[in-house]
Structure 1
């Protein structure tokens, strides 16, 4: 128990040590400064409390942004896994769609924002489309590759036991591809957070991206930095939740790797 607690304290210390050093260096660099563009951590913390902890900001900007992020990422995962499984398991379909997939993957999602605004308007549908247009690719391509590279022994085993159709995908195909699918989801989360902010910077009147741009245009620099800080905190929380889910989903995979390492 003591060893486990000690390891937990060491890991927490490593995780919090570098951010604490960076904040200390920031405070020393801005000590006594009156610069508008480089505020101190204390000013940013005050702006954070005043701006982002207000009930109207939470309900009007923060929660809608997080909802769009969650829905957009969920749609990307569902579309990517379903389409990727179908494409990866069908060689002729994969050969047919590969050039088109490479073409659309090379298009930056940001340049699609004006097109999506013309086609879908400026409501939440457009913002979700922007998130999905960029977040779906890591999941889709990793799923295709994971299904395509499935161990032939598993394929022969499923055929020997006559496990076919939905049962084969559930017990053989998707578990074998799950490490690569989870790697794609990790990228999907980070891309989705970026695109959530970008989608709210265009023709929007609410959301984290809108507020950050508004603060920048009004020369409210401390508030702008506080919005960036909030996005960083959201990213940390999302990464922590994903690690817990990944550990649970891939417990067999991590266990086999630990056994292989001895």
Structure 2
């Protein structure tokens, strides 16, 4: 039954992409537009464009910057959200400012960040990714801490848990499902900002490569870059789901026991 369930889920996951690729292949088969080449031409250009050297010089730096910026956002978001969620005074003091900063689209900050860090180099790009990813993580961490089970909190206090033990096993563990929701949202935002940050005077990265293909009228190659971004985004999402599935196994078991499953 387990294998059948996994097979069914895999079939549903692949059905829509297969249908969309088929429609794209058929719809573009007779295209003569230089901006909308046939999918078969794009597929033929893919292995020639994205060789190992090209992946090493463009895809690897992009993923590295994404990883560093995302990791910084996780650390700052979880630490800051935990502190704010535990302190009503701190929450009242910071909430208006946080809402104001959250409402500012991160791409708008790229020119400002570049004034201090420069367009070239990694600093501005990592800062852009981190600033965009931190808000969903931080705000979900705040809500996760505020929604802790009061019985669990009172029990921990009655047993006089030490502060590190209380933070690790009650606060962080109890808020982790909500934090995971924010981290999932932040990952998709990070991929978008990874590309946007590379559109400004960058010489390496997937975003820079796509712009260079567009400026050189290498349209099939440009489309291969867009497809590669989609594939990488899908793989990152899949990796996140695997990690989340393992990390929150206790939470799923708890929910199932509460529902009597």
TM-score (norm: length of structure 2): 0.96
Superposed displacement of residue 261, structure 1: 6.0
Which ranges in structure 1 are unaligned for 5 or more consecutive residues? none
State whether structure 2 residue 80 is matched by structure 1 residue 83: yes
2:96 to 89, 99, 103: 99
Alignment of 1:108-257 (within 5 A): 108-122=105-119, 123-257=121-255
Superposed displacement of residue 132, structure 1: 0.7
In 2, are the aligned partners of 1:158 and 1:164 still within 8 Å (CA)?
no
Q: Whole-Å Cα distance in 1 between the matches of residues 106 and 31 of structure 2?
A: 39
Higher mean displacement: 238-247 or 248-257:
248-257
1:69 to 66, 69, 77: 66
State whether structure 2 residue 46 is matched by structure 1 residue 48: yes
Superposed displacement of residue 258, structure 1: 2.7
Superposed displacement of residue 51, structure 1: 1.2
2:24 to 23, 26, 42: 26
In 1, are the aligned partners of 2:84 and 2:90 still within 8 Å (CA)?
yes
Q: Whole-Å Cα distance in 1 between the matches of residues 184 and 73 of structure 2?
A: 12
Superposed displacement of residue 234, structure 1: 0.7
Alignment: residue pair count: 259
Superposed displacement of residue 256, structure 1: 2.2
The alignment partner of 1:236 has SS state of helix
Superposed displacement of residue 206, structure 1: 0.9
Instruction: Give per-residue Cα distances to partners, 1:153-172, cap 9 Å, x unaligned.
Output: 11111111000311100110
In 1, are the aligned partners of 2:25 and 2:39 still within 8 Å (CA)?
yes
Superposed displacement of residue 89, structure 1: 0.6
Instruction: Give per-residue Cα distances to partners, 1:70-91, cap 9 Å, x unaligned.
Output: 1111111011001111111111
2:56 to 48, 56, 59: 59
The alignment partner of 2:145 has SS state of helix
Which ranges in structure 2 are unaligned for 5 or more consecutive residues? none
Q: Root-mean-square deviation (CA), in Å?
A: 1.2
Superposed displacement of residue 5, structure 1: 2.4
In 2, are the aligned partners of 1:212 and 1:224 still within 8 Å (CA)?
yes
In 1, are the aligned partners of 2:29 and 2:39 still within 8 Å (CA)?
no
Q: Whole-Å Cα distance in 1 between the matches of residues 260 and 10 of structure 2?
A: 25
